[in-house]
Amino acid sequence: MKMYIKSIVVDDQQKALDFYTDKLGFTVKHDIPLGEFRWLTVVSKEEPDGVELGLEPNQHPASRTFQAALMADNIPFTAFSVDDIEAEVKRLKGEGVEFTQPPTDVGSAIIAVFNDTCGNLIQLIELKG
């Protein structure tokens, strides 16, 4: 068994697509119209055949409640790994990405958190050693 997709809910699929491709540098894997919404996934340029990130509309009330609760408590929805967190934070800040937590050493890793502009906080993590 392998991981195929992980999903996050977003308040606007087009805005999410723009952010995740233009700011973060992911590429579109699937963009299939499904009525009012789309089957929309992106992948890392570093792993084009890796796990896809689904940008799911937060139309279900439970999704919106969950998303709002995480944001209110400053809890990231998901995390992405990076090799050099300082360089990545600098690059993303140059793209206008807003960080809610600067790079912070937590022992076995360094983490930072940014706002994806679509209702989520996302954690970056650089594992040590």
Q: What is the pLDDT of residues 84-98, one digit of tens each?
A: 999 999 999 999 999
Would you say 30 and 91 are in contact if contact means Cβ atoms under 8 Å apart? Answer: no
For residue 111, list its beta bridge partners: 104, 125
- Other Cβ atoms within 10 Å of 114 Cβ, number: 23
Q: Which of 19, 80, 91 is nearest to 55 (CA)?
A: 19
5-127 maps to CATH 3.10.180.10: yes
Give the pLDDT of residue 5: 96
Question: What pTM value is reported for the model?
Answer: 0.94
Give yes or no for a contact between 128 and 85, defined as CB atoms under 8 angstroms apart: no
What does the pLDDT look like over 39-76, one tens digit per residue? 999 999 999 999 999 999 999 999 999 999 999 999 99
